[in-house]
Amino acid sequence: MVMRTYDGSAGDVDHAGVDHAGVGHGGVGPAYTAFRRPDERIAHVIAQALGGARTVLNVGAGTGSYEIAAHAITAVEPSLAMRARRPARLATAIDAVAEDLPFADGQFDAAMTLFSVHQWSDVEAGLREMRRVTRGPVAVLTCDPARVRDFWLYEYAPDVLEAEARRYPSLDRLTTALGGTTAVEPVPVPLDCTDGFNEAYYGRPELLLNPAVRQACSAWSFIDDRARQDFDTSLRRALGSGAWDEAFGHLRNRPTYDGSLVLLRATP
């Protein structure tokens, strides 16, 4: 059974209050905003995918990471807590879900959804809706579930990565739902990546010992306190003994990591 005793702080955990999207709105804490800051190199990849678009729809917009001033952004976000944490300079997010977008056909030049599709109740319906309301490219930043377990973290927290691999829709599912032509590109993760999903720490394992860092990545909410304690003990021990560095120390100096992060760019 899925354990959710912990505040995953990524907008999708079960809490006392659950809004119409089934999205918990009690759990977005300061950890999310502190450790999930947009990374400028990933921002560049996303901006390239959106091309010269002016009007851009951001679905599952959260606190507005990767929304840039060059675009006229319309943000959709079902979690009240996420909407409340959007900086004042950004557009107020509309309370809606991907699966039922309140927009006309072809209303936007481009659309994006970032680190979000794995939380949707109906991925196919959500992507169909994004395609319907968008004239140009639809960009989807997500993780390839076939590659999630390749990360060294699997040795120390297998249940966390199993939960991630189960949640992420396969790339085939995404491309089929998007229709048209879809290009899939791996997104290299920089060594000092500021957007704290798990692989962002590929060369900085010590940071994953910080509970606040883990709290900013919702997959950690799927294991219980005991499992988190076991992870902490085993990683701490491996770092202290040198075992981690012997196996993975080469990653400490690798400027980028090709992990499971991918960007899909779909055109009609």
Ligand X SMILES: C[S@@+](CC[C@H](N)C(=O)[O-])C[C@H]1O[C@@H](n2cnc3c(N)ncnc32)[C@H](O)[C@@H]1O
Please compute Rg for the chain using Cα positions.
Answer: 18
Contact call for residues 266 and 138 (beta carbons, < 8 A) = yes
Cα 95 to chain centroid, rounded: 19
Could you list the beta-strand ranges (E) of the chain: 55-59, 72-76, 110-114, 138-143, 181-186, 189-190, 256-257, 261-267
# residues near ligand X by CB under 6 A: 25
Rule CB under 6 A: choose which of 8, 27, 62, 136 binds ligand X: 62
Structural tokens at position 173:
């599912």
Structural tokens at position 57:
């729809």
The least CB distance from residue 233 to ligand X, in Å, is 27
Instruction: Work out whether 82 is an interface residue with ligand X (CB under 6 A).
Output: yes
Instruction: Work out whether 56 is an interface residue with ligand X (CB under 6 A).
Output: no
> Nearer to ligand X by C-beta: 116 or 182?
116
Instruction: Work out whether 215 is an interface residue with ligand X (CB under 6 A).
Output: no
What residues contact 89, with CB distance under 8 A and at least 6 apart? none
Instruction: Work out whether 78 is an interface residue with ligand X (CB under 6 A).
Output: yes
Which of the ranges 60-68, 158-166, 168-176, 249-257 carries the binding residues for ligand X, by CB under 6 A?
Answer: 60-68
The least CB distance from residue 152 to ligand X, in Å, is 22
The least CB distance from residue 218 to ligand X, in Å, is 6
> Nearer to ligand X by C-beta: 235 or 261?
261
Which of the ranges 39-47, 113-121, 240-248, 258-266 carries the binding residues for ligand X, by CB under 6 A?
Answer: 113-121
Structural tokens at position 263:
């960007």
Residue numbers 18-37 binding ligand X by CB under 6 A: 21, 23, 36
Instruction: Work out whether 264 is an interface residue with ligand X (CB under 6 A).
Output: no
Q: Residue 46 phi/psi, 5° resolution?
A: -70, -45
Rule CB under 6 A: choose which of 8, 11, 27, 145 binds ligand X: 11
> Nearer to ligand X by C-beta: 81 or 235?
81
Structural tokens at position 265:
């760019």
Cα 99 to chain centroid, rounded: 18
Instruction: Work out whether 77 is an interface residue with ligand X (CB under 6 A).
Output: yes
Contact call for residues 254 and 203 (beta carbons, < 8 A) = yes
Which of 71, 73, 29 has the alpha carbon at shortest distance from 51? 71
Q: Which residue ranges make up the site for ligand X (CB under 6 A)?
A: 10-12, 21, 23, 36, 59-62, 65, 76-79, 82, 97-99, 114-116, 119-121
